[in-house]
Amino acid sequence: MMMPRIDDTLFRTALHYTSVARIMQPLTTERLKREFDPECAERCLLLYQDDRLAEPQFSPFLRGIGRLRDVGISVRAVNAVKPVPERLLKTATTIMYQPCFGQYATLDVSAVEALRQASPNAWIVFCDWFAPCDIRFAEGVEPYIDIYAKKSLLQDKASYVDDVQAHTNLMDFYSRFFAIDYPTRTWTTPAAILPKLRLTPSFSTSSQLYRRFQDDMPNFRPSDIDVHARLQTKGSGWYGNMRQLAYERVSQMRKYKLAKDGMVSKSKYMDELARSHLCFSPFGYGELCWRDFEAFAVGAVLIKPDMSHLDVMGDVFRPGETYLPVAWDLSDLDVVIDEALSDRTRLQTIAVNAYNRVQDTLNFQSSLAYLKSLTRTVNVRTMVTN
């Protein structure tokens, strides 16, 4: 079984963002484009974007491609902006497509239509890796796809077809909260898309975070920082106002040691985070942030605006169990921080819970279940664990 091990190593580097991976990329990309394994009934073609935000959706399949072949699933991948070999389009049973977003998150629907025409019998999965949890592209792509997949989805799926004014739920709330103007939504959401909605991984499956979840529990270090809150506040409209509010609220916590001002290197940032009791992570343009999973990985307890409206793969945001929620207007941030820092034993329990919850989503069985949720049928020879 040497070949699957070679594949696992090569494919694992295909979407990594290091100089070594870039040197290896010509080799890996060519191997990614070869014909499907003839003995596999399920033939999955990944059309990926070379972007760190898009990587986590497909990395579970690239990381374990050899093991997937062992259970009857052949995986191939091609950069979505490059020519796709016709032989792969004609023989794929499932095609997972990450779109190229234009300026202001626009989408060329003709690319999806062309994909359907080239592969009329394939099961097509549209993998939307855009940050907000809205499904703005559904109106254009719904006639051509079988599944619409995102890193996060509203729990109340019916609300997607409601007449929401703003582009996103966060824009809607914070624009009203700060009494500022916002662009009105220019699309409608077809009800036919609702049964096609599925979840993909968010950030924990990325190459830079996956390796941090390989121990039995977080590698706890002595904590000399109470709250980690290095926040980017630049931005306009609702986003800039929301991030500035977050910075001001946490800055009022002067009785605690904070890590919040200035830019630091990534290594120093992660070192600080590992030495912190708490990590404050306000929303970005979407609810999910790299910071959330970085905190989970190093054992800092996450404090974040309430996520109970959202579905995320693995149900990793459990209030009081894996993170500590605060109100969206941050009016109770000081109370939540005070209560959290008064019970260090509880903090360690929450940190371990969060780490374990994420870790459970990263094994091969979870990757197989994820793939199965996106495909029409997965004809596997055996179900293996771990």
Q: Is the pLDDT of residue 62 over 50?
A: yes
Q: Is the pLDDT of residue 54 over 50?
A: yes
Question: Rounded mean pLDDT of 310-318?
Answer: 96
Q: Is the pLDDT of residue 163 over 50?
A: yes
- Confidence band of 18 (pLDDT split at 50, 70, 90): very low
CB 52 within 8 Å of CB 206 = yes
CA distance 129 to 50: 12
Q: What pLDDT is attached to residue 47?
A: 96
Distance from CA of residue 80 to its chain's centroid?
19
Side chain identity, residue 14: A
Q: Is the pLDDT of residue 22 over 80?
A: no
Instruction: Tell me which residue of 304, 295, 346, 339 sits closest to 325, measured CA to CA.
Output: 304
Using one digit for the tens of pLDDT, what is the confidence trace for 175-217? 999 999 888 888 889 999 999 999 999 999 998 899 899 888 8
Name 162's Cβ contacts closer than 8 Å, sequence gap at least 6: none
Q: What pLDDT is attached to residue 17?
A: 44
Strands (E) in the chain, as ranges, are: 42-48, 73-79, 94-97, 123-128, 147-150, 152-154, 197-199, 225-228, 258-259, 276-280, 301-305, 310-312, 324-326
Using one digit for the tens of pLDDT, what is the confidence trace for 108-159? 899 999 999 999 999 999 999 999 999 999 999 999 999 999 999 999 998 8
Q: pTM for the whole thing?
A: 0.90
Backbone angles phi, psi at 320, to 5 degrees: 75, -10
CB 313 within 8 Å of CB 199 = yes
Average pLDDT, the chain: 88
- Confidence band of 291 (pLDDT split at 50, 70, 90): very high
Q: Is the pLDDT of residue 305 over 90?
A: yes
